[in-house]
Amino acid sequence: QMVATQLAKVKGRGKVYRYGGEEFTVVFRGKNAHECIDDLEEIRERVANYPFRVRDHDERPENGDAGSKMRQNRANKEGTVQVTISIGVAQRNKQADEPELVIKEADGLLYQAKEKGRNCVCY
């Protein structure tokens, strides 16, 4: 949920779609891969810097406002875990002119990002 919330804040007119279990696709109409990198890097950094805390059921806030207040009141990152995302970026080209092929190319680049140590963008 936290990752999806951060993805929804994507800039550059990107539109987010859930692609599978933990995979998402961000489509930037009318932009090439290079023009999207800064917006995707911003999302990656936002997720990596988010103070994510795994809580027991009885520790969960009643609503989003209460959760936000709890995060603001936390003076340190004690009890937090780092969540990161890896991103593969592709665009239409002669070899990948159908949406399915572009997604397949992006998926291959996603795995390159994971092999490079995760928490990065490959294009």
pLDDT in tens, 2-52: 999 999 999 999 999 998 888 999 999 999 999 999 999 999 999 999 988
Res 75: pLDDT: 45
36, two tokens: 């999207």
Which secondary-structure segment (H or E) carries 108?
helix 99-115
Q: What pLDDT shows up at residue 21? A: 85
pLDDT (tens digit per residue) in 27-38: 999 999 999 999
Q: Please say whether the beta carbons of 47 and 85 come within 8 A.
A: yes
* Annotated catalytic residue within 22, 59, 62, 78: 22
For 56-110, write each residue's pLDDT tens digit.
Answer: 666 667 776 776 666 565 545 567 889 999 999 999 988 888 999 999 999 999 9
pLDDT of residue 52: 87
Share of the chain above pLDDT 90, in %: 65
119: left (phi over 0), alpha (psi -120 to 50) or beta: left
22 annotated active-site: yes
